Amino acid sequence: VGVAVPDSNPTYDVIVVGCGAMGSAIACHLARMGKTVLGLEQFGIPNDRGSSHGGTRIIRLAYAEDSDYVPPLQRSYAWWRELEREAGTRLLTITGSLDVGPEGSWLCAGAKDSCLAHNLPYALLSGREINRRFPAYRVDEAHTGVWQPDGGILEPERCVAEQIRQARLRGATILDHVTVSEWSSDGDRAFVNTSAGVFAGRHLVLAAGPWMPKLVDVLAPLLTVERQVMGWFESTDRISSRPDHFPVANLLDGEQRYATYPDVGGAGIKVMISGHRHQVCDADGVDRRIDATDLALLAAAARRCLAIAAPRPHHAATCLYTNTASGRFIVDRHPDHANVVIVSACSGHGFKFCGAIADAAGDLIAGGAQRWGGMHGGQTGNSGAEAASASSH
């Protein structure tokens, strides 16, 4: 950064760039640790331009991707409950979760393995039993499903707002509508050049979601940003679509994978197709318009797995995935700057992990090794081993 930091600006313990799910959780956690924190967000908080919007996110323990994710998930459940206690409001609603597909598919086998490895309660249900117990669903009767009672939904915009509120309560300075154009580090201090001037911190956390490839050169070859579309369907049965009757689900249907979310607050049942149209994009240049192909794909997905959804979505919106090849997260020190932490908790399944990601970032800031090694891919070459796993919600 070629501009001097004004004398009147303090040196913060940590500057956090990006106040989506991860940046807001990390700012909150660091403020609780007693650090002086500056959080910077280019849009409003929350916003609908990155990866943390759309009313609902799945949280689940039967983690088909790898049972290593279960301990950080258990920690993250505790994080959400603690946040709720301090907020005096509900952010996490338990619905139970379903992982449905052909018997022996990676999704069903993996979900069951996670339950067995961590002694979680679960039940194996046939497709027919799923349709009988949960009338919202009409899954293939020949398929099988793992039902796990702890699955549920988080409300992402409210979660982000609450993390920021609690960060501010503990003294964090959070500036919205401030864009970071560049950053640097001299080893002792990191600097950010922004639309509101230059700021300095002893540490810098970069948590810019789908903007990470632009902000961190070394990540550009490791991350792919992808356009996703969520569709909301009016329900033909108000009771069966409610969170207390509608478990969240991941469903395998041939090559396709769907995720389904109950109706929250009358918005409608939400349906997503993982990978949607596999449209690689740029966070600033992405086409956010919804077209007829998007709507037709969502309608076909709803027809394949739901009994009570209107034939076509009444609303749809884009959202961005930031994918690693392994589907695992990156939470690591920058390979060239030990005081800069890079966080990309991504690949379409990161939201639920806010508490564990905040822990891991806090560990790195405190100078230690990070917890929860199993959920990181080590893609930066600094830690861990990359392991293959498919992403989902």
244 CB-contact burial (10 Å; exposed 0-12 / middle 13-18 / buried 19+): exposed
Could you say which of 1, 98, 159, 230 contacts ligand FAD (CB under 6 A)? 230
Task: List the structure tokens of 356.
Answer: 């564990």
The mark string for 98-137 relative to ligand FAD (x by CB under 6 A, - otherwise) is ----------------------------------------
DSSP-derived letter for residue 50 is S
- Closest by CA position to 19, among listed 8, 5, 31: 31
Residue 348: CB minimum distance to ligand FAD, A: 5
Among residues 67, 76, 166, 228, the one that binds ligand FAD under rule CB under 6 A? 228
Task: Kindly list the distances between the CA atom of residue 98 and the CA atoms of 176, 215, 282, in Å, as whole numbers in the listed order.
Answer: 38, 37, 33
Q: Contact with ligand FAD (CB under 6 A): which of 5, 13, 43, 378?
A: 43
| Residue 14 in the binding site for ligand FAD (CB under 6 A) | no
375: number of Cβ within 10 Å: 28
Residue among 22, 21, 365, 364 nearest 373 (CA): 364
N-to-C CA span, the chain = 38
Task: Enumerate the β-bridge partners of residue 211.
Answer: none
What's the one-letter identity of residue 389? Answer: S
**Is 22 near ligand FAD (CB under 6 A)?**
yes
**Residue 279 in the binding site for ligand FAD (CB under 6 A):** no
> Contact between 219 and ligand FAD (CB under 6 A)?
no
Place of tokens 């907020």: 87
Binding of ligand FAD by 42 (CB under 6 A): yes
Kindly tell me which residue out of 1, 14, 15, 18 binds ligand FAD, with binding defined by CB under 6 A: 18
Contacts of ligand FAD in 172-191 (CB under 6 A): 179-180
The whole-angstrom separation of Cα 89 and Cα 84 is 5
> Could you say whether residue 327 binds ligand FAD (CB under 6 A)?
no
Among 211, 246, 258, 372, binds ligand FAD (CB under 6 A): 211
Task: Report the distance separating Cα 283 and Cα 266, nearest Å.
Answer: 30
How many Cα atoms within 13 Å fall on the side-chain side of residue 174?
A: 30
Q: Is 223 in the site for ligand FAD (CB under 6 A)?
A: no
| Contact call for residue 257 and ligand FAD (CB under 6 A) | no
Cα–Cα separations (whole angstroms), residue 381 to 22, 106, 135, 218: 21, 28, 47, 10
Phi/psi of residue 209, nearest 5 degrees: 55, -130
Regarding 83 and contact with ligand FAD (CB under 6 A), the answer is no
281 binds ligand FAD (CB under 6 A): no
Least distance CB 128 / ligand FAD (angstroms): 26
110, 349, 365, 376: which one binds ligand FAD (CB under 6 A): 349
Q: Which is nearer to ligand FAD, 125 or 180 (CB)?
A: 180
User: What distance separates the 2 farthest-apart alpha carbons in the chain?
Assistant: 69
**Of 1, 320, 341, 361, the one binding ligand FAD by CB under 6 A:** 320
Does 341 sit near ligand FAD (CB under 6 A)?
A: no
Q: Is 350 in the site for ligand FAD (CB under 6 A)?
A: yes
Residue type at position 217: D
Does 39 bind ligand FAD (CB under 6 A)? Our answer is no
Q: Does 356 bind ligand FAD (CB under 6 A)?
A: no
Binding site for ligand FAD (CB under 6 A): 17-23, 40-43, 47, 49-52, 54, 57-58, 179-180, 207-211, 215, 228, 230, 272, 319-321, 345-346, 348-352, 393
